[in-house]
Amino acid sequence: MQNDYLLEVKNLTTRFHTQRGVAHAVNGVSFGMYPGEILGVVGESGCGKSVTAQSIMRLIPEPPGRIESGEILYDGKDIVSLSTRQMRKIRGDRISMIFQEPMTSLNPVKTVGRQIGEVYALHRGVSKKESMQKAVEMLEKVQVPEPARRVKEYPHQLSGGMRQRVMIAMALACDPEILIADEPTTALDVTVQAQIMDLMLKLQAKQKTSIMMITHDLGIIAEMANRVIVMYAGRIVESAPTRPLFRETGHPYTKGLMNSVPVIGSKDADGNSRLTEITGMVPSLYDLPQGCSFAPRCPHRNERCQNELPPLFQVSPGHEVRCWMCESASVKGAAA
């Protein structure tokens, strides 16, 4: 099946060399994306989700960051080995990204029409007039009201939901094969979140774009994703199709994430709303544990967990779990 991947990441390792030391942000991550699928990537802040996305886009600031090893294969080419000029032709054209906060991602001194139009000018070589016409068409496509007027406005004149729609319009302007959405609904209210997610689903269904949905919101993942990758401390700890993952969670960390989601009507003995937390703290990326990174917080840990890093065990077709408890149930074990 690997030959069918549109994008394949192999043993990606990205680190940041700072005065404090070396931050092991992404550690030997491997996964693939199929054409037209929505791949969910979940985990707590600092788990490596965004750094993985930035590595794919070749947006890691150098220094202090650096992709130290691994391959990112797209269209038969290793993105890591491409020159800056070659990567610029791919970024924003074939692979696009929606960033977390549109207010800081959009240029405050340029109209939104000009910013969308620049994507066409760069990758399609169209005139200024044509690029503005395309900008109006894209704003209409992402359901921005009065698009002909909005193209003349600046980011600060738009609401948070409108700015996020502008970001989506920019990302989809050149009909990319892959769209990376990094926390696309952050800081938006629930109603606007639902509108943005519905919009992305409709556009994805129409344009058959593959989407990498990076989020900490399991509700969004359950609704949108075909497959899910769970990351912790720079590594993949579980990977599975969405339904099997929610039905038979394998890793203690994934179970902790599931249990920490509030459930309507769930009460404790005192009648208060029940909310289960994952005890302990995320380990420092400057000083990761010797064995399983989740061991210090895991209620099932043993001496082996603290001393040996488990591989990804395949517990069922397409379902892999990085936990020693799954060794006996594995179809095969493969270090990753």
Q: Determine the pLDDT at residue 278.
A: 86
**Segment among 84-88, 120-124, 260-264 with least mean pLDDT:** 260-264
If pLDDT is split at 50, 70 and 90, which confidence band does 2 have?
very low
Helices and strands in the chain, H and E counts: 12, 13
Q: Determine the pLDDT at residue 230.
A: 96
Query: Can you read off the two tokens belonging to residue 194?
Result: 């639902």
Which residues lie across from 212 on neighbouring strands? 39, 180
Q: Are the C-beta atoms of residues 217 and 191 closer than 8 Å to each other?
A: no
Question: What percent of the chain is predicted at pLDDT more than 90?
Answer: 56
Residue 277 CB coordination number (10 Å): 8
Q: Determine the pLDDT at residue 266.
A: 57
Q: Are the C-beta atoms of residues 280 and 233 closer than 8 Å to each other?
A: no
Is the preceding peptide bond at 147 cis, omega within 30 degrees of 0?
no
Tokens 């068409």 label which residue? 137
CA distance 269 to 259: 17
CA distance 272 to 3: 51
CA distance 201 to 223: 10
How many alpha carbons fall within 13 Å on the CB side of residue 81? 7
What is the pLDDT of the chain when averaged over all its residues? Answer: 88
Written as one string, the DSSP assignment of 71-101 is: EEEETTEEGGGS-HHHHHHHBTTTEEEE-S-
Which is higher by pLDDT, 217 or 70? 70
CA distance 300 to 295: 8
Q: What is the mean pLDDT of residues 256-276?
A: 70
Q: Determine the pLDDT at residue 50.
A: 93
| Residue 102 confidence (pLDDT) above 60 | yes
| Exposed e or buried b per residue across 170-180, where buried means at least 16 C-beta atoms within 10 angstroms of its C-beta | bbbbbebbbbb
Q: What CATH number was assigned to the domain covering residues 2-225?
A: 3.40.50.300
Q: Determine the pLDDT at residue 1.
A: 41
**pLDDT tens string 154-176:** 999 998 888 888 988 888 888 89
CA distance 122 to 212: 24
Q: Determine the pLDDT at residue 214.
A: 94
How far out from the chain centre does Cα 138 lie? Answer: 23
Domain ranges for the chain, please list them.
2-225, 235-334
If pLDDT is split at 50, 70 and 90, which confidence band does 332 have?
low
Q: What is the mean pLDDT of residues 1-13?
A: 84
CA distance 154 to 152: 7
| Residue 265 confidence (pLDDT) above 80 | no
Q: Are the C-beta atoms of residues 160 and 199 closer than 8 Å to each other?
A: no
Q: Are the C-beta atoms of residues 182 and 97 closer than 8 Å to each other?
A: yes
**pLDDT tens string 31-57:** 999 999 999 999 988 899 999 999 999
| Residue 100 confidence (pLDDT) above 80 | no
